[in-house]
Amino acid sequence: MIRGGPQGIRGTRGVSIPVHHRWKGAQCVRCQAVRVVDAPMANRFPPVPHGRRAVWCDFLNLISMIADIIPVTRARADAAIVDLDGTMVDTLGDFAEALRRMLGDLSLPGIPAAEIERMVGKGTEHLLRSVLDHVLQPMEPQRRAAAVEAHYPQAWEAYGRHYLAINGSHSRVYEGVAEGLQALRAAGLRLACVTNKPGAFAVPLLRAKGLDGFFDHVFGGDAFERKKPDPLPLLKACEALGTAPARTLAIGDSVNDARAARAAGCPVVLVTYGYNHGQPARQVDADAHVDSLQALCAG
Ligand SMILES: O=C(O)COP(=O)(O)O
Ligand SMILES: [Mg+2]
């Protein structure tokens, strides 16, 4: 179990995820957890003889006051939406190899993996434009922007071909992922994978890594009109899962996941080990940060 707060989102069995509630009256605007402050505590107890009643009331008032300070109600999560690159699979090696081959085809210079890492997370179009912009650096900005667009169609075609050829062979599943997903499923949560990676890359990758069986739905970055950080993919995933966003936990590695989750109204947990455009994930606003998906398991 993750520690970090007295309150949390609790699955039907054994999964407890800390959430820092934002109370509006007695209800959390993020996850709809309810504070017990207004609970008619006295009604829960059998009638007591007159005379002893005052003692009971004092006692119950005290409990009620404590409950006000420490919200004790745990909301329930019905489902989780899990990001792919940087959250479940370390795919930096695949990106680097496909880009190395693509840049070779275009007779352009290479790019270090550390630079690529900063560019991952906003989908293939963004990645390719960022890489082309980087390798064409010697050009002055206006000519460079035009050169990026001129190279883009050939880059897209070559990259897609190479990525599919090497998909999964330079990547690995992060430690604790299978255990974390297993625990979420065992707790009765439905799971969807929502990634900015194209569906044609995401589906075979999940299969190759033995993760496909955990998911009821997989949505690639080309599944909807807009990608994360837009909330649309998360809202569509909630629709497919049949769950309310406030009861659907988003799990990701970057600011794109966190912003999409906030805008969709999903509670969000970020892993600390993925790709976040060169910035520590702990600096990103989220309900919790974990070092492993296994930390989502009850202890
Ligand atoms: O930009 C990508 O291709 C990676 O996307 P993801 O982190 O949403 O899986
Ligand atoms: Mg990611």
**pLDDT tens, residue by residue, 46-56:** 333 445 555 55
83 lines ligand 1 (CB under 6 A): yes
Give the Cα separation of 273 and 282 in Å (integer).
Answer: 10
Distance 144 CA to ligand 1 centre (A): 25
Q: What is the pLDDT of residues 190-200, one digit of tens each?
A: 999 999 999 99
Q: How much is the average pLDDT of 202-206?
A: 98
Q: Model confidence at 71, in pLDDT bands (50, 70, 90)?
A: very low
Contact 297, 264 (CB under 8 A): no
Which has the closest alpha carbon to 158: 122, 131, 194? 131
CA–CA separation, 229 vs 207, rounded Å? 25
> Residue 159 in 3-state DSSP?
helix
d(C-alpha 101, C-alpha 156), whole Å: 12
Which letter does DSSP use for residue 95 in this model?
H
Cα 227 to middle of ligand 2, angstroms? 12
Q: Which residues surround ligand 2, an ion (CB under 5 A)?
A: 83, 85-86, 253
Q: Is the pLDDT of residue 36 over 50?
A: no
The minimum-distance atom of ligand 1 relative to the CA of 257 is 8
Name which residue leads in pLDDT, 173 or 17.
Answer: 173
Give the DSSP per-residue string, 13-31: SS-EEE----EETTEETTT
Q: How far apart are CA 260 and CA 127, in angstroms?
A: 19
What residue owns the CA closest to ligand 1's atom 4?
Answer: 121
pLDDT value at position 25?
Answer: 53
pLDDT digits (tens, 9 = 90+) for 153-190: 999 999 999 999 999 999 999 999 999 999 999 999 99
Radius of gyration of the chain (CA): 23
* Cα→Cα distances 122→16, 103, 174, Å: 30, 20, 20
Backbone φ and ψ for 30, nearest 5 degrees, come out as -85, -45
Residue 222 has pLDDT above 90, yes or no: yes
Q: 122 CB less than 6 Å from ligand 1?
A: yes
CA 85 / ligand 1 centre spacing (Å)? 5
pLDDT at 5: 35
pLDDT of amino acid 50: 42
Average pLDDT of the segment spanning 88-117 = 98
Higher pLDDT residue, 250 or 7?
250
Copy the structure tokens of residue 227.
Answer: 């990608």
- Of 39, 37, 58, the closest CA to residue 48 belongs to 58
pLDDT of residue 67: 40
Model confidence band, residue 142 (pLDDT cutoffs 50, 70, 90): very high
pLDDT at 18: 43
Q: Which of 102, 219, 215, 213 is nearest to 162 (CA)?
A: 102
pLDDT given at position 72: 26
List, by residue number, the catalytic residues.
83
**Ligand 1 centroid – CA 90 distance (Å):** 11
For the cut 60, the answer to whether the pLDDT of residue 34 exceeds it is no
- CA–CA separation, 168 vs 211, rounded Å? 12
Neighbours of 58 (CB within 10 A): 10
What's the complex ipTM? 0.98
pLDDT value for 173: 98
Torsion of the alpha carbons at 124, 212, 78 and 81, rounded to the nearest 10: -10
Binding site membership of 85 for ligand 1 (Cβ less than 6 Å):
yes
Mean pLDDT estimate for the chain? 83
Give the ligand whose atoms come closest to the C-alpha of residue 122: 1
Residue 150 has pLDDT above 90, yes or no: yes
pLDDT at 48: 39
> Taking 60 as the threshold, does the pLDDT of residue 94 lie above it?
yes
Residue 89, helix vs strand vs coil: strand
Percent of the chain topping pLDDT 70: 74
Q: Is the CB of 86 under 6 A from ligand 1?
A: yes
Site to probe by mutation for ligand 1, drawn from 81, 82, 84 as the one with most ligand atoms within 8 Å of Cβ, is 84
At 138, the pLDDT band (50, 70, 90 cuts) reads confident
| Sign, Cα dihedral of 25, 78, 266, 235 | negative
The more confidently predicted of residues 61 and 240 is: 240
Ligand 1 center to 43 CA (angstroms): 51
The angle at the Cα of 1, spanning 181 to 89, to the nearest 5 degrees, equals: 30
